[in-house]
Chain A
Amino acid sequence: MQTKASKSALFPYVLWIAFFVIAPIALVVYYSLLDLHGNFTLENYKAFFTSVYLKMTLSSFWYAFLITFFTLLISYPTAYFLTKTKHKQLWLLLIIIPSWINLLLKTYAFIGIFGLYGPINAFIEVLGFDPKQMLFTDISFVFVSVYIFIPFMILPIFNSLDRLNPTLVYAARDLGASAFTTFRRVVLPLTMDGVKAGIQVVFIPALSLFMITRLIAGNRVITLGTAIEQQFLVTQNWGMGSTIAVFLILFMVIIMLITGQKNKGGRVR
């Protein structure tokens, strides 16, 4: 499983990296070194270390953490129960289908659902409470973000749970382990790769969420992604926008180093 065959397998992928990753990064780094008049400068990097951007970085990480945490919290049991259903592959597909409907449309639907005259408030009124404006709050923002990311978390976890040998669980239970111990010592370690993959595909894009920061959070939440969007599309300060992007990529690399697996090749345990 090495040498020629695998090298040629890597070829289109490496081509992809060269053209669509390295080249754009080079462009971004190049632009990050330009000021508004096209002169070389390090001002943009200096500007990133002002309180506005540092605060923004912190809040991006905080919200990305919250989003990832709740997504995992909801997805793990869902994936676990799904593996136990009769037509599990079908149910899994039905989890993904909602993500194929346009995001902006779904966001507008959420605006309606959370709205003052939406179904949730109608329900609250039936219970005898005063209707509340749920839009433009942290909670609605995290909720909708979690909603968007759930399929991305469920899929990898489902895949790793699905191959889990049930006899292992039975063996552990037979040997007197409690349900919790079995989960912690047997199930969780064996599904760790799936969980890690899930965390990566949620946390990393959550750092650069934009659109819904405006639509659902009304710009009360500002992430690095929003700032980049603004710099590119409004200020047309591609230099500063690129600088923020360089930092986002750096953060991502750090996250990869922390969550990256250290063992070589397949699992040897």
Chain B
Amino acid sequence: MKSLIQATIAIIVVTALLMYAGNAMSAGSGKSGKDTLTIFNWGEYIDPDLLKQFEKETGIHVIYETFDSNEAMMTKVQQGGTAYDIAIPSEYMIEKMKEEDLLIPLDHSKIPNMKNIDPYFLDLPFDDNNKYSVPYFWGTVGIVYNPSLVGDLDFSSWEDLWDPSLKRTVFLVDGAREVIGMGLNSLGYSLNSLDNNELRSATDKLIKLAPNVKAIIGDEITPLMINNEATVALTWSGQAADMMYENEDLDFAVPEEGSNLWFDNMVIPKTSKNIDGAHAFINFMLDADSGAQNADFVGYSTPNIAAMALMDEEVVTDERYYPTEEQRDTLEVYKNLGPDYLGKYNELFLEFKMSIR
């Protein structure tokens, strides 16, 4: 009995000490101004120095929280409880958030740096006239591969994935839209298809890919590709850029039949309590200098032309990351399929996954 009481007291004392230390530390890190701005972003998706610079310039204290999927982010915004001022969802999620009335319209007069964005990336179907969102980064879906290990395949066509020589080597990303979309693209269909026959034949085609599939995973593919543990992977261009930065043997290709063009965008959710601060932050991130610094840090493709002018020429002219307008014409942006077809896509994806044994 005595030891139980002792242990309880010890735990309480330790906790109290830790609380004291924690408070002292967070006080030291400077929570000066009352003005705060809560940002909800993907993990490691911003240069932390920029946050510090923003705090210094504006006197606004930044609270930074991270998420790892659009859907989880939306659930949290929808439930409220935290006053998120900025969130950075992907394009299809913006359509959904608009429908659910979770976004605050932007006041363009407070974002003069909007002029820095390539007009090509403005006024896109998912958000007319950028009423609610401003693009943050963009990219494509393609195949990253190790040329020395795949013979003479160059993945200019999705068909190359079905090549018998790739038995049990292909890694796929764990996303229904990406994988079913690839199946649709490989047959020449739109990756936003709402045609049950097309979807069926795409799934059947994918099931034929099963013998070649090694695994369906998420972000863990990055270290595996870097370390030459994997030879071929379906992935996003930004992630491919990370891999190629670490492992120079790798190459990235977007097959000619077409693929996905995606955007992550800054929005102001309904939960915001500092709308002026949020506009100031968006404008700050669209500035040429901070845009360039952020793109250098994150390694994804920026829509900011003024920033591109300040960046390494070799990077911004690399057609693998910055495809020409002509190449972009084969790419499609995901449309919000509506709950029924999103469910259908996921059902088919599950069926495909179960076929891998």
Contact = CB atoms under 8 A, between A and B. Distances in A.
A235 B217 contact: no
Interface string A95-127: 000000000000010010001110000000000
Given A219-B217, A237-B339, A117 B227 contact: yes
B283 to A, nearest CB: 32
Contacts of B69: 233-234
A220 B220 contact: no
B354 interface: yes
B227 A230 contact: no
A36 B227 contact: no
B339 A36 contact: yes
B174 interface: yes
Contacts of B175: 234
B218 interface: yes
B216 interface: yes
A69 interface: no
A55 B229 contact: no
Contacts of A237: 339, 343, 346
Interface string A220-237: 101000010011111111
A215 interface: yes
| Category for how many chain A residues contact B | 20 to 34
A214 B356 CA distance: 13
Contacts of B2: none
A113 to B, nearest CB: 12
B174 A219 contact: yes
Given A219-B356, A222-B353, A233 B229 contact: no
Contacts, number: 79
A236 B354 contact: no
A221 to B, nearest CB: 10
B14 to A, nearest CB: 15
Interface string A31-53: 00000110000000000000010
A215 B217 contact: yes
A115 B223 CA distance: 11
B216 A214 contact: yes
A220 B217 contact: no
Contact of B217 (A55, A133, A218, A234): A218
Interface string B201-227: 000000000000011111010011001
B248 interface: no
B342 interface: yes
Given A136-B214, A215-B217, A220-B357, A233 B174 contact: no
Interface in A223-269: 227, 230-237, 240
B1 interface: no
Q: Which of A37, A108, A136 has the most CB of B within 10 A?
A: A136
B229 A37 contact: no
Given A235-B343, A236-B339, A237-B346, A133 B229 contact: yes
B228 interface: yes
19 contacts: A37-B339, A115-B224, A117-B228, A133-B214, A214-B216, A214-B217, A218-B214, A219-B174, A230-B350, A233-B71, A233-B72, A234-B69, A234-B71, A235-B176, A235-B342, A235-B346, A236-B71, A237-B346, A240-B343
A-B pairs, 3 with minimum CB distance:
A218-B215, A219-B216, A36-B339
